[in-house]
A and B are shown apart, each in its own frame.
Chain A
């Protein structure tokens, strides 16, 4: 079921593709679209985790640092000869643990999430530096299997893209079809009512952070393996793109409202802008301005949608609303 906001966003994405195609028709060839989608996969995966956190009235600014730390650990484990499946499990668990640190501070110590994750994002980057002394791990230090996995093509789409698709499906099922998913919406929509319903607000927020962390850990491996390099500053500032994707996708910053479809479309919109502008020869500064404008337009849309509607006094108007 598509709500009007998602439909508008889908139209915006299509319009964007049409404009690009008019100047550079090769952009919309299936092969290139698959490449753009794969390139946007880390953003999609992180944005889905971020969406769940934002639904519960929190925000996770530490996702990019979490990604970088988990990516570095993955590269180091690879150097020690740890097999790939085990590395995948470890980055998921480590990411979840880093998310749990955020969640516990929000739940048990009652610190606002923006402050908690602002702190941990710096700490996680610092830990990478302590682990490596600032040294890089380069392509020649990684095994071929480690680097090849995300790029292995299945039915024309690399594994990395497939992982993004599976994440979309899993998160969609989680938020739409499980009691936990319903709790995310209830906690963000009305925390007081959630308490009176027997839902623990803090615990639900904690779970959201763990989920966001685990997805960041997974994305960490994918990122490092695909770009075949790991260092302190990978994905620097990426957390802002992630939040931007959510906002453009109509996830309400005040919590309690938003959909997986919207989130996916928000991430795709940003991904297409990022990939297309260099191709048609527009400077990266324009790219930032376009992302920024898209965020402001999206926020204005949301604000208009959520503004006071006035009291419905006429009986027949209840049905129209």
Chain B
């Protein structure tokens, strides 16, 4: 390969045997990673493979539980972000961390500004240095410009200049092209070439295979927090990488019962939103579990939020039980029989500090009150009914929801929505971050709901869950429906191909 000329064969940074656990989750399990000077290494893996965790370890935000970090032949620890930066490791984050009210130069040098007399910041020297750095990456920006006046692409350039200002040896780019236009992506590629020519080692994290094949020299695949394999791009093809990424059989037991699929309940046609999704159409039937798979940021949650009246679609129609419905508010969605269990339970689900029974009855208060006054006995009865069905473990229904475990909080949120007696229930990542036991209970319950004739939409990024629970699967990519699979076509390979945008393997 062309890049070999400017690059060495000994890695500038090596990770060996890195493990990291969080309560209930083993995020990384003895992984390894090598980064070579003057080369781009692509880190590939599904959602939850451990990519973000490794970035946080490399930048000193997390401490590994075990394992070694070797930089330039020396064993190092990165107890702080500053230590990582001092060792020459720097990251350009998914959501770039910059300060809107500061100037370009101040952003580039924040934390290590050149000092003048009396220890005050030497503004003139800082701006001159910033101008030099910006010129070296071909960025046409004034060091004096305020960051809030810049577009996303320019902000990226500032972030890159900031990375270079600390004299980095290793540059981590975590999905750098996610928010960029086609032209800007092209400029980023050129910048990566510049960095390579300067001998920097680059770790490139991306979901987009065309990008990876365009600029990477080497690859490393992680799956479920484990290192799978690595190699050079010259010796691999897309099909092989997909296989390594997925590489497991659906061997968990899912309690999916065959259910009687009935009449259409919800028909969505041409749903579009100016910035989030385009031309979404599907039909959902009674007793059906419809899976929505895709990479994080593919627009699945956004579509569901529009169906639930949180955002408004710019075009498109939605029929519920044959009748055209216009849903403008969540109250109208609940009335029409659509409910949504959000992904972020902490922020969007339970009201902490409120007792369990009050959380459950919150959207059903018109049913538990008479003449405008709440009847606590009916509230308790309703809450008891639905929490028992979900096998909620709590000392009493008077208990504060905030004191429950994640899985039990999830059950409270689901009970809250079932109590409204919906026709369609949308579950967004229903088992994310909850323990195995609660997971099984949620799966079991989903299956029971479908058996009772409820129509279920399940948004999930876990392939085994999607395949194990769904009757059909819709795959979304970049705000559009990429493919739909049913029956024998529902394979891990097909789902991942559609999600990352590879055509049928040649």
Contact = CB atoms under 8 A, between A and B. Distances in A.
Nearest to B341: A196
A192 B374 contact: no
A190 interface: yes
Contacts of A194: 351
Contacts of B372: 178-179
A185 B374 contact: no
B373 A196 contact: no
Interface in B366-424: 366, 369, 372-374, 393-395, 399, 403-405, 416
Interface residues of B, number: 36
Nearest to B331: A198
Given A193-B347, A196-B330, 11 more contacts: A177-B374, A179-B374, A182-B365, A185-B351, A186-B362, A196-B342, A197-B330, A257-B353, A318-B403, A318-B405, A319-B395
B151 interface: no
A312 interface: yes
Contacts of A257: 353
A319 B348 CA distance: 26
A257 B351 CA distance: 11
Contacts of B329: 198, 200
Interface in A189-242: 189-190, 192-200
Interface of A: 173, 176-179, 181-182, 185-186, 189-190, 192-200, 256-257, 309, 311-313, 318-319, 321
Nearest to A252: B353
Given A186-B351, A190-B352, A318-B403, A195 B330 contact: yes
B353 A198 contact: no
Interface of B: 23, 308, 310, 329-331, 333-334, 340, 342, 344, 347-354, 358, 362-363, 365-366, 369, 372-374, 393-395, 399, 403-405, 416
A178 B330 CA distance: 21
A182 B348 contact: no
A179 B342 CA distance: 23
A321 B362 CA distance: 24
A198 B23 CA distance: 33
Contacts of B350: 190, 193
A192 B348 CA distance: 5
B369 A312 contact: no
Counting from the closest, the 8 A-B pairs by CB-CB distance are A198-B331, A179-B365, A189-B351, A198-B330, A190-B351, A192-B347, A319-B395, A192-B348
Given A182-B365, A198-B331, A312-B403, A193 B349 contact: yes
A200 B352 CA distance: 18
Contacts of B308: 196
B353 A189 contact: yes
24 contacts: A177-B374, A178-B369, A178-B372, A178-B374, A179-B374, A185-B353, A189-B351, A190-B347, A193-B347, A193-B348, A195-B348, A196-B330, A196-B342, A197-B330, A197-B416, A198-B329, A200-B329, A256-B351, A256-B354, A311-B23, A312-B403, A318-B403, A318-B404, A319-B395
